[in-house]
Structure 1
């Protein structure tokens, strides 16, 4: 499926393609980066699904769970009954900045209108146990930015997130969920979520419909918050706060990071103050943010990692790499992440063969992917 760089005018997936994409991303050991490599190697999700068992066996795992069509149809129909929809990478409704991160989610579950498609998006995040002053700052910052045409993105959490969402309802705000788009957390934000959707905002998640969020799911949510946005504003974040994880993802994604300074006597300000010392821009009002962004509607130097699925595609399993190459690659890998380009140079083989071997190992549960196109071996 050919795509325009700005997503405008891009064709929608057919229903059969959408179900195949859903099956592929819900299959065992298939994450966003693996999904992209599978599509690029085999030409379509349907072709990739047929090859998962063989790839997994070659990587050392005899049985891999491939998501059944019935399960995908059940999830798809449950979403439709709720009024949610699946938006695929490259389709017009996909967040324009999110497609430029390393390993963008191939599918998003979305409820609400079209705030997600706006390029002028800014994240406002911070402490759950925020002070009254912190909540007021989040409200003022989000309200003013919203009035100037920015969509406010946050995580629907207590404290700063809730204040930012509530202040930007009229301009459209995006709530990024850690669980399924139908699972509200925290549950007391049911009215806030209803107001977000009623005012043209969105709720969005990459997790399966009906998924209850676990602790490990919140970093994935934070990665989406920063990925959807041009920049991230941190207001009150204690040392080790999840908001600092969002800032770290923003740095990896080459987003602007802003922080509101706070009292050195308040531990809730330690994280934001540290960000400023490390180079984040100090901001105290919407003017500061707008001046720093200088009218930009695209992040600088974005990744460009769209998957490509032609209307007609074939593609069988590539020639099996030799056992000698497989052994050399495994010997070169270890618990320390190494760049895929380095592996190609070390082995002297084609990037395509190395990528196939990495797919085998990942589908067998023996490989972990890291930011910056790096991988490590799982023991």
Structure 2
């Protein structure tokens, strides 16, 4: 197993304290964050080579920095940082509720993320800071998933959230959205990691979702300055944080060349568990998940395939959850002959009629009722039964 789940004491809400001179420390990390082509990996090498604390880098003269191997642009960023940008970030932190920033020396910086090779210098947050210390599992996938993919994302997120696990994703359209919504639907915890700044939420269509996450004790995170615009190279950087925060990554419907497989690659490098939900072999969006399974990712067909990989997970449940022994009226419908005639892939109406051996008027009336109950969805070419129904 890649990572031990934090014990119950660690996941209980803790008193979050700020270190002395916290603003001064944060300013130092914001200066380090301005250095071009310089990340935590290079900083660690510098510290190990010269056996000095991180902030000592900011005390050296230009000539000393040149001797250390820094180029002219890096020297300028260290000796003459843009204090205006730094003041803007500090002003952002104090101009709204539930805003914070943590750095690798801050006591609330996520432990798993800090252990990765390239954690961010600064992580900005909006929402419930306590979720930084929660057990997280990431869910990622296509921005244009099938109905099957959407259903998988929503249902598995609900299941994880019901067990007290925080569902982490990237706020993108598609699977990310379904994962966040699934967790919220059962009152669970969810974390969204952005490829833009927290004052420039992206995609715009999910601004309301981000607000809903925060309003429901969730958390939105970014390593980028508050007003940073979304650019293509930001999203692979974002993906390493999604996986770095998490105990494992679940991939649902991803093409061979996709951001989801980049996230899975980061997860492997970070020694995280990788899970993949299989799909239709004729669907190009299934190719990425199937490739991961061939390469050793765990095939997932039920929630227990994920949870059994983590020790003590059941003993750390944050919310009591048990299924009713008696089926609800909605659940009882899932066993009848007509619903059994609809597949998880597109099923033509005439096939449903033939399988169920029922009159067309009755079939249409029942299918409409099933749609209203969320048991099936009408699509071009027929109907699809939603997973878990």
CA contact (8 A) 2:108 2:133 kept: no
Between 1:45-54 and 1:169-178, the stretch displaced more is 45-54
Distance 1:224 1:12, change over 3 A: same
Which of the numbers 79, 84, 97 marks the counterpart of 2:112?
97
**Do the aligned partners of 1:115 and 1:200 also contact (CA within 8 Å) in 2?**
no
Corresponding residue of 2:38: 30
Query: Does 92-101 or 222-231 show the bigger shift?
Result: 92-101
Counterparts of 1:106-121 in structure 2, within 5 Å, are: 106-121=121-136
Separation in structure 2 between the aligned mates of residue 278 and residue 13 of structure 1, nearest angstrom: 47
- Supply the RMSD in Å over aligned alpha carbons: 2.3
| In 2: Cα distance, 1:101 partner to 1:61 partner | 26
Task: Write the distance in 2 (CA, Å) between the matches of 1:186 and 1:47.
Answer: 39
- The CA deviation string for residues 26-71 of structure 1, in whole angstroms up to 9 with x for no partner, is 2333312233445664745543123273355333734533223343
Preserved CA contact (<8 Å) 2:40 2:117: no
Is 1:285 aligned to residue 302 of structure 2?
yes
Which residue is equivalent to 1:65? 76
Change beyond 3 A, Cα 1:48–1:137 = same
Q: Tell whether 2:123 aligns with 1:86.
A: no
Instruction: Tell whether 2:37 aligns with 1:20.
Output: no
Picking from 158, 176, 187, the partner of 2:204 is: 187
Structure 1 Cα separation of the partners of residues 20 and 196 of structure 2: 24
- Distance in structure 2 (CA, Å) of the matches to 1:136 and 1:153: 17
1:310-355 deviations in whole A, cap 9, x for unaligned? Answer: xxxxxxxxxxxxxxxxxxxxxxxxxxxxxxxxxxxxxxxxxxxxxx
TM-score normalised by length of structure 2: 0.70
Alignment of 1:201-212 (within 5 A): 201-212=218-229
Residues in 2 aligned to 1:233 and 1:37: alpha-carbon distance in whole angstroms: 32
Contact 2:124 2:221 in 1 (8 A): yes
Q: Is the Cα–Cα contact under 8 Å of residues 233 and 260 in structure 1 kept in the other structure?
A: yes
For residue 156 of structure 1, report the CA deviation from its aligned partner.
0.4
Are the equivalent residues in 2 in contact too, given 1:121–1:152 (CA < 8 A)?
yes
C-alpha distance in structure 1 between counterparts of 2:223 and 2:113, whole Å:
12
1:103-182, aligned counterparts within 5 Å? 103-169=118-184, 170-182=187-199
**Closer, same or farther in 2 for the Cα pair 1:151/1:104, shift >3 Å?**
same
Instruction: Assess, with a 3 A threshold, how the Cα gap between structure 1 residues 260 and 23 changes in structure 2: closer, same or farther.
Output: same
Aligned to 1:168, the other structure's residue is in SS state helix
**Worse-matched range after superposition: 234-243 or 20-29:** 20-29
Give the aligned length.
Answer: 292
Q: For each residue in 1:215-239, what CA deviation from the matched residue of structure 2 results, as whole angstroms up to 9, or x when unmatched?
A: 1111110000000000000000011
Q: Rg: which structure is higher?
A: 2
**Deviation of the 1:10 alpha carbon:** 7.9
Q: Which residue of 2 aligns with 1:50?
A: 59
Asked if 1 retains the 8 angstrom alpha-carbon contact of 2:277 and 2:299, the reply is: yes
Q: 1:231 to 1:60 in 2, by over 3 A?
A: closer
In structure 1, how many angstroms separate the alpha carbons of the residues matched to 2:309 and 2:53? Answer: 41
The Cα of 1:155 is off from its aligned counterpart by 0.4
Unaligned residue ranges in structure 1 (runs of 5+): 1-5, 298-379
SS in 1 for 2:110: coil
TM-score, normalised by the number of residues in structure 1? 0.72
Q: Distance in 1 between matches of 2:257 and 2:64?
A: 39
Are 1:249 and 2:260 counterparts?
no
1:240 aligned to 2:257?
A: yes
Quick check: 1:141–1:286 contact (8 Å CA) kept in 2? yes
Unaligned runs of 5+ in 2: 1-9, 315-389
